[in-house]
């Protein structure tokens, strides 16, 4: 009986052991299947990192001339539009210089017009001397005939010869004076004369300096890092403030070098901002892959050729271009933390860009418009001081 009971216990223990092994094997199979499913669906074909931050352009506002600040039109956080005045300098010196340049142009126009008038006068003198020479030569020829006929003395003939010689020399002098006057105005007009063009250049420079006393926003965006006060004396190149166009921000995601094997330009990416949480998802694409690691471009690069060296996995910045619609609905700020996941299944894209940009990435035309209006001012000054203009003749 004891033996039978012992055999029953052994059999029951064997069944329990077999059941436990079966459950364990089933658990291993389930875990393996789950791991395989995760690896095939999530473990491959994507790379993610939380070492990512919002970046953008900080367009600095710097003066091109020295000046004293008299007005500040915007402060940190204010939205400004392209071309809007942000800072104004005292323009007293620029106004005086501009008035002097206007007077110099007016004087140059009058001087050049006098040159043209002198040339015309010299032509009239030459024509007059030619008439006098023809008259003297005619008188000389007539007296020669009279001397031959015995009706005139030799002394009067000599006097007629002297008059002809004098008229010839006077013509030669007049022609030289004409050449001298014509040399000053040859192949030019009042507007294209070098003296007038030089004065116009000085006026343009003075006008430009006057316009530069008003510092305008190069782009539309938000003011940041204001570093200027009223009454402060600023020098050219000093940073007064920055304008940040938040509609042009991007994400710099720092991936490990081991994550870039299948990453290509143009691959789609999903981004989550810590500011909004998981409920807000941004869409974008890989715009460029890093050209060098962060340590390579640091102020003090690592010196690995030393005795003590430890290998550290490097990170390369990957620029992610964000969808404009997502940015408009949920604006971002510079420096915010992001979570980036890049879909790396499609590896047809390029590792590095091979084509130059077809158009400028960023540009502004506020500086090219600073000379708008100067041409009309120049035309008015020339018309008011050129005595040959029909309007002035009408007034006279």
* Same domain assignment for residues 146 and 238: no
* Same domain assignment for residues 168 and 220: no
Lowest mean pLDDT among 29-33, 145-149, 291-295: 145-149
Q: What is the CA radius of gyration of the chain?
A: 45
- For residue 395, what pLDDT band results from cuts at 50, 70 and 90? very low
Give the per-residue pLDDT at 134: 87
| CA–CA gap between residue 79 and residue 130 (Å, rounded) | 77
- The token duo for 158 is 């000599």
* Same domain assignment for residues 105 and 137: yes
Residue 282 lies in a domain: no
- The token duo for 231 is 């009454």
Give the per-residue pLDDT at 207: 96
* Same domain assignment for residues 114 and 185: yes
Residue 102 lies in a domain: yes
Length of the chain equals 396
Give the per-residue pLDDT at 391: 37
Mean pLDDT across 350-356:
86
Residue 218 lies in a domain: yes
* Same domain assignment for residues 237 and 97: no
Enter the pTM of the model: 0.74
Q: Tell me the per-residue pLDDT of 151-175, one tens digit each, with 9 for 90 and over.
A: 666 777 677 788 888 888 988 888 8
| CA–CA gap between residue 351 and residue 355 (Å, rounded) | 12
Give the per-residue pLDDT at 295: 72
Give the per-residue pLDDT at 149: 66
* Same domain assignment for residues 229 and 150: no
Residues spanned by the domain of 232: 59-90+211-244
Q: Tell me the per-residue pLDDT of 83-138, one tens digit each, with 9 for 90 and over.
A: 999 999 999 999 999 999 999 999 999 999 999 999 889 899 889 888 888 888 88
Mean pLDDT across 359-384:
91
Q: Answer yes or no: is pLDDT of 23 > 90.
A: no
Q: What's the first-to-final CA gap in the chain, in angstroms? A: 151
Q: What CATH number does residue 239 fall under? A: 2.40.50.100
Find, among 196, 199, 171, the residue nearest to 116 by Cα. 196
Mean pLDDT across 201-208:
96
| CA–CA gap between residue 47 and residue 65 (Å, rounded) | 50
| Higher per-residue confidence, 6 vs 113 | 113
| CA–CA gap between residue 359 and residue 271 (Å, rounded) | 27
Task: Look over the chain and give the mean of its residue pLDDT values, rounded to a whole number.
Answer: 86
- Are 290 and 327 contacting, i.e. CB atoms less than 8 angstroms apart? no
| Higher per-residue confidence, 188 vs 69 | 69
Q: Answer yes or no: is pLDDT of 389 > 60.
A: no
Find, among 264, 244, 257, 274, the residue nearest to 52 by Cα. 274
* DSSP per-residue string spanning 354-367: -S--SS-SS---TT
Residue 87 CB burial class (10 angstroms; 0-12, 13-18, ≥19): buried
Residue 201 lies in a domain: yes
- For residue 36, what pLDDT band results from cuts at 50, 70 and 90? low
Residue 115 lies in a domain: yes
* Same domain assignment for residues 105 and 84: no
Q: Answer yes or no: is pLDDT of 144 > 80.
A: no
Q: Answer yes or no: is pLDDT of 24 > 90.
A: no
* Same domain assignment for residues 121 and 154: yes
* Same domain assignment for residues 106 and 68: no
Residue 275 CA, chain-centre distance (Å), reads 34
Phi then psi dihedrals of residue 88, to 5 deg:
-125, 135
* Same domain assignment for residues 201 and 236: no
Give the per-residue pLDDT at 39: 58
| CA–CA gap between residue 259 and residue 381 (Å, rounded) | 68
Residue 365 lies in a domain: no
Residue 158 lies in a domain: yes
Residues near 223 by Cβ (< 8 Å), separated by ≥ 6?
74, 75, 76, 77, 78, 79, 80, 86, 241, 242, 243, 244
- Are 268 and 283 contacting, i.e. CB atoms less than 8 angstroms apart? yes
- Count of domains for the chain: 2
Lowest mean pLDDT among 9-18, 185-194, 255-264, 323-332: 9-18
Residue 223 lies in a domain: yes
* Same domain assignment for residues 200 and 111: yes
Give the per-residue pLDDT at 387: 77
* Same domain assignment for residues 135 and 197: yes
| CA–CA gap between residue 231 and residue 246 (Å, rounded) | 30
Residue 333 CB burial class (10 angstroms; 0-12, 13-18, ≥19): middle
| CA–CA gap between residue 221 and residue 58 (Å, rounded) | 10
| CA–CA gap between residue 57 and residue 35 (Å, rounded) | 43
Give the per-residue pLDDT at 328: 93
| CA–CA gap between residue 236 and residue 303 (Å, rounded) | 38
């Amino acid at each position: 009986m004891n033996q039978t009971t012992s055999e029953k216990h052994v059999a029951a223990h064997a069944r329990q052991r077999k059941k436990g092994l079966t459950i364990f094997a089933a658990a291993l199979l389930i875990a393996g299947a789950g791991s395989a499913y995760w690896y095939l669906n999530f473990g491959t074909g994507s790379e993610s990192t939380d070492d990512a931050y919002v970046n953008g352009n900080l367009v600095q506002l710097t003066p091109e001339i020295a000046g004293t600040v008299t007005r500040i039109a915007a402060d940190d956080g204010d939205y400004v539009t392209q071309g809007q005045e942000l800072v104004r300098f005292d323009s007293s010196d620029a106004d005086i210089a501009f008035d002097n340049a206007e007077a110099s142009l007016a004087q140059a126009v009058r001087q050049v017009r006098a040159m043209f008038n002198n040339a015309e006068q010299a032509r009239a003198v030459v024509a007059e001397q030619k008439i006098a020479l023809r008259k003297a030569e005619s008188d000389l020829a007539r007296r020669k005939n009279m001397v031959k006929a015995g009706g005139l003395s030799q002394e009067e003939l000599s006097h007629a010869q002297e008059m002809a010689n004098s008229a010839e020399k006077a013509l030669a002098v007049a022609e030289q004076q004409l050449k001298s006057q014509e040399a000053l105005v040859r192949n030019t007009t009042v507007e294209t004369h070098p003296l007038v063009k030089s004065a116009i250049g000085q006026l343009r420079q003075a006008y430009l300096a006057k316009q530069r006393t008003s510092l305008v926003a190069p782009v539309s965006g938000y003011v940041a890092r204001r570093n200027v006060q009223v009454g402060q004396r600023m020098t050219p190149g000093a940073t007064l403030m920055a304008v940040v166009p938040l509609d042009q921000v991007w994400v710099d995601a720092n991936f490990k070098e081991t994550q870039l094997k299948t990453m290509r330009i143009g691959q789609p990416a999903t981004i989550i901002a810590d500011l909004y949480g998981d409920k807000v998802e941004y869409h974008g694409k890989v715009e460029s892959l890093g050209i060098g690691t962060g340590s390579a471009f640091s102020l003090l690069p690592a010196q690995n050729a030393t005795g003590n060296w430890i290998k550290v996995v490097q990170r390369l910045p990957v620029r992610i271009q964000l969808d404009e619609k997502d940015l408009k609905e949920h604006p971002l700020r510079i420096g915010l933390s992001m979570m980036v996941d890049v879909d790396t299944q499609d590896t047809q894209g390029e590792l590095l860009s091979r084509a130059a940009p077809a158009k400028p990435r960023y540009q502004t035309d506020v500086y090219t418009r600073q000379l708008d209006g100067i041409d009309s001012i120049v035309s008015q000054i020339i018309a008011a001081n050129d005595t040959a203009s029909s309007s002035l003749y009408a007034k006279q």
